[in-house]
Each structure stands twice: as structure tokens, then as C-alpha cells.
Structure 1
């Protein structure tokens, strides 16, 4: 087993996932593709936690040297995305009030698309948040698996040594 080549493969696989996490987190700041919601502070609370940017992005870059940090970042990104998905978006309802209408609901809004009409502004914010938070969850799972593989690879490298010899 060549742990050096395995490390390189894991690092290469992490880069697009890091970029996807950062992009998803940035896009969450622009529901309805408009900056006015970010300017006025009308964003879902979990967007401000920046799980995709910090956990799936910055901490994941550190994982190349510290796989445990990357795994922790993946867990953080996953939890924030899960909370964002579970609580639902911050939106303006029919009465003109900005709130998170699905947060304390006993029923899940995810399967009941008729309740999505509770959010009038930003347009299609439920689908927007769902798509990006789900993308962050999938990305963080893949990142967590890659970081766990890197930790196992590092353990084998420590116990068995690395095989960096080149063949002629």
C-alpha cells in the first residue's frame, strides 16, 4: 500500500468538494438572486453560521495536513446544513412579517410543498435553501469520508511505513 499516493488522491478529490461547499454557502446569501435580503438581514440563521464556508471550506483546506480538523469541519458543515434544512428559511409571510414559519412546526414542511406558499418573499426561497443545504450535506458527507480515509491512511503509514520507492 502506498500511503503517499493515497494521500494525493484524497487531496485531489477534496478540492472540488471544498469549492462546492464555499460556493453553496455564498449563494445562500442571495435568495432570489438579490442582495437586498442580505443587506437587510433577512437570511436564515444557519446561513450566517457559514458551515459551508468555514467547515466545508477553510477547515477542509487544513485537512490536507490535519485530517482530524477536516473531519471536524465536515461534521460542522453537515450539522449547520441539517439545522438549516430542518428549520426552514427565513421569509416574509402573507402578513408581511419576516419569520421562519416552519421552525416550530410539528410536521415536516419538506414533503408538503403546499405549505411552501407560506413564504412569499424571496421567491422560491424554500426550494433555494433546500437545494443548497442538501448539497452542503452531501458534500460534507463525502468530505468526512475522505478525511476518515486520510486518517486511516496516516495510521497505516505510521504503523507500516510509507512506500515512496519508485520502480524502474
Structure 2
């Protein structure tokens, strides 16, 4: 049990910086190149307001991180099977949060930035299916905010990568928790029969 608890705690410690990076990346998306005028004038892509990194990959991810880190600290209150079941539930919450972050970031990347073009404010890459990401020559269509395509592509790719890492970590703990919740009672029976 102590090995699985130690493993869960290390996973929780790994989740904390990932969650903080998701929050930071999402906040940076709200302020292209550090400018506050675009958020005040509501000149940002719609999906950015869904807060995939802030909510899903960030704040929601703090729940499994805290549960994994504190696993076993209050053994007086919980038996080991309940403790592992709690970590499984927290891992499921983490999977939902990282999945939400991944989907929202992917949709935002596919649609492209909302920017000022020669035809006014619009989504110039909305019908491209995300191909614009691999064709930097097209990026000059966005005149304002300056370098918005590079800004969005970089931050959204970071969010996608962080969401995948968070998903893998929560999946590992889901497996760890399920194995321990199911197999631990069997181990107790074997130990009891050996001692008897």
C-alpha cells in the first residue's frame, strides 16, 4: 500500500505545476502580446471564453492533485480501500478536466484567432480545418492584434500538450487506485490465512 500511496503522491506533485501552467497559458490567451484592449473590447476568439486551461486543465486539476498528495495522511479517518476509491474518483475528475482542456484548446486552434483583416474583424481561418497552422504565409492576414496567430498557436499547443500529460497522469492513478482497491482485500485474506 505504501508504494501505491507514494506513487499517487508523486503523480499529485507532478500535476500541480502542470495545472499552474494551464492557468498561466489560458490567462495569456486573454491578453494577446500583453495588451488589455482586446479583452475589454471583446475581440477574442469565442472558445477562449470557455476557459479550457483555466477551468479544466487548471482549477479542476487541483482536486486530483490535492487528493493524490494527501493520500494516506489521514489514515485514522479512512480505511485503505476507501482511500483508494477516493483517489479513483479524483482521477476521473482529472480525466474530465484534462479532456475538457484538450477539446476546447483543439477547437480554438482549429477555428483560428479572431482578428482584424483587410475585410474587418473576422475568423479568417475558420474554414481551413486547422491547415493554417502549418502555413505561416497565411498568418499575415491577421493585421491586429500583432502576431496573434503565433501567440494563439503557441499557447494552444502548450495547452494541448499539458492536457495530454495531465490525462496520462490521471489515467495512471486511475489504474493504480483500481488495482489497489480491488486487489488489496485479496492480499489481506492471503496474509490472514498465512498468519492463521
Question: Does structure 2 retain, via aligned residues, the 8 Å contact 1:3–1:156?
Answer: no
Where has structure 1 moved over 3 Å in runs of 4 or more?
Answer: none
Residues 27-66 of structure 1 show CA distances to partners (whole Å, capped at 9, x for unaligned) of 0000121000000000011110100011001111112431
In our comparison, the structure showing a higher alpha carbon Rg is 2
**Aligned partner of residue 110 in structure 1, secondary structure:** helix
Distance in 2 (CA, whole Å) between partners of 1:56 and 1:75 is 8
Q: Which moved more, 1:126-135 or 1:100-109?
A: 100-109
Question: By percentage of residues, which structure has more helix?
Answer: 2
Q: Matches of residues 1-168 of structure 1 in structure 2 within 5 Å?
A: 2-64=3-65, 65=67, 66-95=90-119, 97-105=120-128, 108-161=131-184
For structure 1, the residue ranges without an aligned partner over 5 or more in a row are 164-168
Give the TM-score of the pair, scaled to structure 2.
0.79
Q: Distance in 1 between matches of 2:146 and 2:110?
A: 19
TM-score of the superposed pair, with normalisation by structure 1 = 0.92
C-alpha RMSD of matched pairs (Å): 1.7
| Contact 1:18–1:56 (CA under 8 A) maintained in structure 2 | yes
Larger deviation: 62-71 or 120-129? 62-71
Q: Distance in 1 between matches of 2:10 and 2:129?
A: 44
Q: Contact conserved, 1:74 with 1:140, CA < 8 A, in 2?
A: yes
**Unmatched runs of 5 consecutive residues or more in structure 2:** 68-89, 188-196
Q: Is the 8 A contact 1:81 1:137 kept in 2?
A: yes
Q: Deviation at 1:107?
A: 7.2
> Aligned partners of 2:29, 2:159: CA distance in 1, in Å?
11
